[in-house]
């Protein structure tokens, strides 16, 4: 087998021959460079252009439509109790694992006395994970999760139950809105290792097209929307 550089040149050469173009045409190079730099938006559906309050409402409705569950809290201090309640309601152990996200670190976990809180990447035996969303997208009821020590990716997939906290102000209208936030945080052209767009719990229709939840990822996805009265416009 020839080496990688040779194969690379072969393929790029064939493409240029087929397209009948020069490798160093300035016009093409500029066009492509501009397109990458400008990253212009294409058509964004009208339904993604609501106010924050409308976005939150639409996000919740669409998340519920794809079998996610949603609850609202007004202050961060309510979150540990809400989690403990949720676990009780579903007969789950009072035991969660979360990342080291500062917003999660700061929560008064002591308020939910029975709750056992572990930190780090998911382990096989974990039944419930808690993450904080980087953002959310209203148009399709989608959570935007970014990887890092704050919110390890494995928490999104390995445990059977996933609880996600999202602040109302972070619910964007469209994917494009969310990318703008990603660029603001990570820089233009840069991405965290993993961005997960999550819309509902895991599902499959592979057996006779009958939809079943919990194929490999979480069977339940519960979203806690932190909606401080002042944050809704």
Partner 1 sequence: MEPTSKNFKSNAAGALTDAQLQRALSNVPRGFVKKRADAAAALPEFEQLRDQGREIKNHTLEHLDLYLEAFEEKVVEAGGYVHWATTAQEACDLVVRLCLDREAQTVTKGKSMISEEIGLNAGLEKMNIEPVETDLGEYIIQLRGETPSHLIAPAVHLTKEQIEADFRRTHTELPEERNLDEPASLVYEARQILRQKYIDADVGITGANFLIAETGTSVIVTNEGNGDLTQTLPKTHIVLASIEKVVPTLEDASTLVRLLARSATGQDISNYTTFSTGPRRRGDPDGPQEYHVVLLDNGRSSMLGTEFQEMLRCIRCGACLNHCPVYQAVGGHAYGWVYSGPMGSVLTPNLIGVNEAGHLPNASTFCGRCEEVCPMRIPLPKMMRHWREREFEKHLTPFAARRGLGVWAWFAMRPKFYQRVTRWAARILKWRAGRSGRLANVPLAGGWVKYRDLPAPQGKTFQQMWKERDNV
111-150 positions binding partner 1, by CB under 8 A = 120-122, 124, 139-142, 147-149
* Least distance between partner 1 and beta carbon 105 (Å): 15
Contact 217, 202 (CB under 8 A): yes
95, two tokens: 């035991």
Residue 44 burial (10 A CB sphere; 0-12, 13-18, 19+): middle
Cβ neighbours for 55, distance < 8 A, ≥ 6 positions apart:
138, 171, 172, 173
Here's the x/- map for partner 1, 14-53, by CB under 8 A: it reads as xxx-xxxx-x----xx-xx--xx--xxxxx-xx-------
* CA atoms of 105 and 2, how far apart (whole Å): 52
Which of 88, 90, 106, 216 forms a contact with partner 1 (CB under 8 A)? 216
* Residue 43 neighbours by CB distance under 10 Å: 5
* Least distance between partner 1 and beta carbon 201 (Å): 7
> What's the number of CA atoms in the CB half-sphere (13 Å) around residue 194?
16
* Least distance between partner 1 and beta carbon 1 (Å): 6
Contact 222, 71 (CB under 8 A): yes
* Shorter beta-carbon distance to partner 1: residue 58 or 227: 58
Contact 137, 106 (CB under 8 A): no
Cα end-to-end span (Å), the chain: 62
By CB under 8 A, the residues from 42 to 101 that bind partner 1 are 42-43, 45-46, 62, 66, 99
* CA atoms of 151 and 147, how far apart (whole Å): 6
* Least distance between partner 1 and beta carbon 24 (Å): 11
Here's the x/- map for partner 1, 164-183, by CB under 8 A: it reads as ----------xxx--x--x-
Which of 135, 158, 163, 171 forms a contact with partner 1 (CB under 8 A)? 158
* Shorter beta-carbon distance to partner 1: residue 116 or 206: 206
> What's the number of CA atoms in the CB half-sphere (13 Å) around residue 48?
16
* Least distance between partner 1 and beta carbon 54 (Å): 17
* Shorter beta-carbon distance to partner 1: residue 53 or 215: 215
* Least distance between partner 1 and beta carbon 78 (Å): 27
* Least distance between partner 1 and beta carbon 163 (Å): 16
Q: Is 105 in the site for partner 1 (CB under 8 A)?
A: no
By CB under 8 A, the residues from 193 to 212 that bind partner 1 are 193-210, 212
């Amino acid at each position: 087998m020839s080496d990688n550089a040779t194969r690379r040149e072969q393929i790029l050469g064939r493409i240029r021959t087929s397209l009948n173009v020069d490798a160093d045409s300035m016009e093409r190079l500029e066009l492509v460079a501009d397109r990458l730099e400008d990253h212009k938006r294409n058509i964004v559906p009208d339904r993604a252009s609501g106010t924050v309050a409308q976005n939150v409402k639409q996000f919740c409705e669409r998340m519920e439509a794809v079998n996610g569950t949603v609850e609202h809290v007004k202050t961060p201090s309510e979150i540990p109790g809400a989690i403990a309640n949720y676990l009780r309601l579903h007969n789950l152990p009072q035991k969660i694992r979360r990342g080291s996200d500062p917003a999660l670190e700061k929560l008064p976990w002591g308020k939910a006395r029975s709750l056992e809180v572990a930190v780090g990447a998911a382990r096989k035996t974990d039944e419930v994970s808690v993450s904080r969303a980087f953002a959310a997208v209203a148009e399709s009821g989608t959570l935007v999760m970014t990887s890092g020590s704050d919110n390890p990716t494995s928490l999104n997939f390995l445990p059977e139950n996933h609880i996600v906290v999202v602040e109302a102000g972070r619910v964007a209208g469209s994917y494009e809105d969310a990318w703008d936030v990603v660029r603001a945080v990570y820089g233009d052209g840069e991405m965290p290792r993993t961005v997960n767009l999550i819309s509902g719990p895991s599902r499959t229709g592979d057996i006779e097209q009958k939809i079943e939840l919990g194929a490999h990822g979480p069977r339940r996805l519960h979203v806690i929307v932190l909606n401080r009265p002042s944050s809704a416009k």
